[in-house]
Copies of this chain bind each other. A is one copy, B any other.
Amino acid sequence: MPPGATKYNGHFVNIDIQIDYIEYSATHYKHESSSANGLILHPSIMDKVQWYDIRGLHDENVINSISKRFDMHPLAVEDAVDVHQRPSFTEYDKGQHISLKVLHFDKATAKVSREAVSIYFGTGFVISFQEREQDTLQPLKSRIEGSKGRIRSKNADYLAYTIVDFVVDNYFQVMDFFEEEIETLELTISENSDNFDKTRIYELKKELLKVRKSISPLREAINLFSRSESDFVEERTVAYIRDVYDHTIQIMDNVDSMRDILSGLQDLYISEISLRMNKIMQFLTIVTAVFVPLSFLTGLYGMNFDVIPELKYQNGYFVLWVFMILLVVGMLLYFKKKKWL
């Protein structure tokens, strides 16, 4: 693929493209939905925020017309449709681009799937690009419509911040799922049950690495965002962005300590297996040590030598029984002392 290709490279190529247009100020709210064909690009409006939310990225016409309308840098367009792009923040002359990953945790398989979401914003407008049909950002839209929070009285940079904050909040939920999974693992190991699936630790570690690969660059991206000195980010928004930045650090901390905890669980599991082995071997050893000498004795008096004096004694058989019982008792006391019993 030549650099500069503006072709969507993800899996969602057959979905119906849906475009939401939301226009708001403290006192005003307008919402339009359209398909790819019906896309209308409005001119900028003073003191209003314009938000284009595009769901479905496979139609080059849509991408091209929107990128032309907002004069996006070719690289910003590329990043918007490149779903393998790692989270990043890039400043261009006419706007700023933020690539994000929304994480979904499937509880059944304990797998994390990643959805690419990116936003491009400048003075008075935000464009969000989602690759799936279902609207991850729906709660945000309701909040704007319902005028909850302080968002309606702020500008486009605050909307961009809100989207980023929304995505980061989603990470906390994913972390909670991991925490639950780890608690389940702890229980299963300590209950010693054979239901324990040894690959689970490995898989959770792998999924955590996926989360780490999303959150680590996201942290850097938000840091850059908070330090942006362009006109697109107002001074008063910076404190909020620093706040999200702190959240990403907290998530990083969580991911790292969960990885440590999983390593600890792996060690615990290995100890567990080894301990069980010891117990199996102790049992085997006790059984063997108790019966092998007895078998020797019975073999001894099963021999056919012409002369074996003991065999002639009237009470030989009963004396042997007493001797064998004493032997067994002695053995068991020995194992008791060795703490094998």
Contacts and interface: CB of A to CB of B under 8 A. Distances in A.
Nearest to A76: B239
B292 A293 contact: no
A291 interface: yes
A91 B264 CA distance: 38
Given A198-B272, A253-B213, A271-B273, A296 B304 contact: no
A257 B259 CA distance: 12
A240 B340 CA distance: 58
A240 B275 contact: no
A278 B196 CA distance: 15
Contact of A282 (B162, B280, B287): B280
Most B CB within 10 A of own CB, among A151, A212, A283, A339? A283
Contact of A276 (B86, B240, B278, B310): B278
A48 interface: no
A284 B281 contact: yes
A261 interface: yes
A6 B103 CA distance: 27
Most B CB within 10 A of own CB, among A291, A303, A306? A303
A279 to B, nearest CB: 9
A51 to B, nearest CB: 16
A208 to B, nearest CB: 9
Contacts of A143: 2
B284 A289 contact: yes
B295 A149 contact: no
B270 A271 contact: yes
A209 interface: yes
A137 interface: no
A34 interface: no
Contacts of A302: 298-299, 302-304
Interface stretch (A39-47, A64-72, A124-132, A199-207): A199-207
B205 A4 contact: no
A273 B276 contact: no
A282 B283 CA distance: 10
Nearest to A99: B246
A317 B307 contact: yes
A280 B283 contact: no
A267 B263 CA distance: 10
Interface in A144-162: 148-151, 162
Interface in A310-331: 310-317, 320
A292 B289 contact: no
A271 to B, nearest CB: 5
Interface of A: 1-5, 73-75, 78, 86, 88, 90, 92, 143, 148-151, 162, 165, 169, 190, 194, 198-199, 201-202, 205-206, 209, 212-213, 216-217, 239-240, 242-243, 246, 249-250, 253-254, 257, 260-261, 264-278, 280-285, 287-289, 291-296, 298-317, 320, 339-340
- For the complex of A and B, the 3 pairs showing the least CB-CB separation, nearest first, are A298-B299, A2-B149, A301-B303
